[in-house]
Amino acid sequence: MRHVVCLVLSFSLLAGTASFAEAPQTRSVDKPTSKADKKNATRKPRKKKPAPFAWVNPIPEQRQHPSLKHGTFQSPSLKHEVGYAILLPPGYTDGEPDKRFPVVYYLHGGRPGSESKSIALVPQMHSAMESGQVPGMIYVFVNGGPVSHYNIPGEPTKQGADVFIKELIPHIDDTYRTIADREHRGIEGFSQGGRGTMRLSLRYPDLFCSAAAGGGGYETERKISESGGRESATLVFAEGDNAWDLARAYSKAKTPEVDWMIYVGTKGFNYQNNLEYMAFLKSLEIPFESIVVPDVPHSGLKIYEQRCVDLMRFHAANFGLIDTAIKDE
């Protein structure tokens, strides 16, 4: 390019002394900008539309892992198959054939539901167990249904919470070598799954002894509480079925006791409302632990990159597998 510029410059200097016919000059004319052009220039890129909802979503090829399996069961209420993904711990298939394991149910973020949404965490989970940093546990990745971990009153095909609680959990206990009691059953999730984790553990403390809610949208949960169940013009839940009202109800008896963890990144868009919800739980004298990860955005994967072992050890300690949950830093 430098040589081309030099040649053009030399040619132009020679042209000053030679009698060449001048090429007609062109002027750049500013075209008037239309309203449509202005609108297109300022328009933000459209968000990618979520895939259509399906109750069965096989594991994508890029997320395959030797210890991650995909399974389905026949839903009694829906009358068709429902999918789930399950991470089996090291030693499950080639270890002691009678050994049983505790279970953590992981709730994905976003809507609609899919059992393959959060399985990017699997390599870190497996590595933590394989290295011996965390005892062996089963992780089940739940399909939360069309509205992700919520029931919609009067709509039989939109009972994601019930399909999980009343159908998936019994199926897992019947099919795999689980320790099928609340003292060895946990729940965890991020974002929409964090909301679901907090709400369902408050609603069913008789089912879970351990609950880790990550990056939950508690401002939306408060809106639902204050509007009699309405999240939007088209989305109305049962009155009282939200993380604020359920916490108030639980605080009156505080039994059975659940070990709660709330975790969030300081760069997450709902960081502040997580702090507000923690303050709310303190005002109700509901005990919980927390992990606040500096400079991390709203991303369960980013948080797991730093605190995977700590979060898994939290559950392991609650199951009685280890003495200390969070390592001192």
Structure tokens at 110: 């976003």
Residue 173 CA to residue 189 CA, distance in Å, equals 20
Among 182, 94, 95, 186, CA closest to 139: 186
Please state, as a whole number, how many other Cβ atoms lie within 10 Å of the Cβ of residue 236: 16
Phi–psi pair at 239, nearest 5 degrees: -60, 130
Residues with Cβ within 8 Å of residue 223, at least 6 apart in sequence: 230, 231
Q: Between these two residues, 93 and 20, which has the higher pLDDT value?
A: 93
Per-residue confidence (pLDDT) for residue 28, from 0 to 100 = 38
Q: Where are the beta strands (DSSP E) in 129-196?
A: 138-142, 185-190
Structure tokens at 243: 């993380």
Structure tokens at 104: 């953590």
Q: Tell me what percent of the residues of the chain surpass a pLDDT of 70.
A: 83
Structure tokens at 58: 């096989």
Residue 56 CA to residue 66 CA, distance in Å, equals 20
Residue 210 CA to residue 326 CA, distance in Å, equals 14
What per-residue string of b and e applies to 41-80 under the rule 16 or more CB within 10 Å gives b? eeeeeeeeeeeebebebebeeeeeeebbebbbbebeebee
* Predicted structure pTM score: 0.84
Instruction: Determine how β-strand 138-142 pairs with β-strand 81-87.
Output: antiparallel
* DSSP string across 75-100: -TTTSSEEEEEEEPPTTTTTS-TT--
Q: What is the DSSP secondary structure assignment for residue 164, as one 8-state letter?
A: I
Phi–psi pair at 327, nearest 5 degrees: -70, 140
Instruction: Name the band, by pLDDT with cuts 50, 70 and 90, for residue 6.
Output: very low
Residue 252 has pLDDT above 90, yes or no: yes
pLDDT tens digits along 119-148: 999 999 999 999 999 999 999 999 999 999
Contact indicator for 55, 78 with CB cutoff of 8 Å: yes
213 strand-pairing partners: 189, 262
Structure tokens at 235: 């989305």
Residue 37 has pLDDT above 70, yes or no: no
Instruction: Name the band, by pLDDT with cuts 50, 70 and 90, for residue 95.
Output: confident
CATH code that applies to domain 65-318: 3.40.50.1820
Q: What is the DSSP secondary structure assignment for residue 245, as one 8-state letter?
A: H
pLDDT tens digits along 265-313: 999 999 999 999 999 999 999 999 999 999 999 999 999 999 999 999 9
Per-residue confidence (pLDDT) for residue 178, from 0 to 100 = 98
Residue 279 CA to residue 275 CA, distance in Å, equals 6
Structure tokens at 214: 């990550």
Per-residue confidence (pLDDT) for residue 14, from 0 to 100 = 33
The H-assigned helical ranges of the chain are 2-15, 35-42, 122-130, 160-162, 169-175, 192-203, 218-226, 243-251, 271-283, 300-318
Structure tokens at 324: 């200390």
CA separation, residue 21 to residues 5, 16, 24 (Å)? 22, 11, 9
Q: Between these two residues, 170 and 36, which has the higher pLDDT value?
A: 170
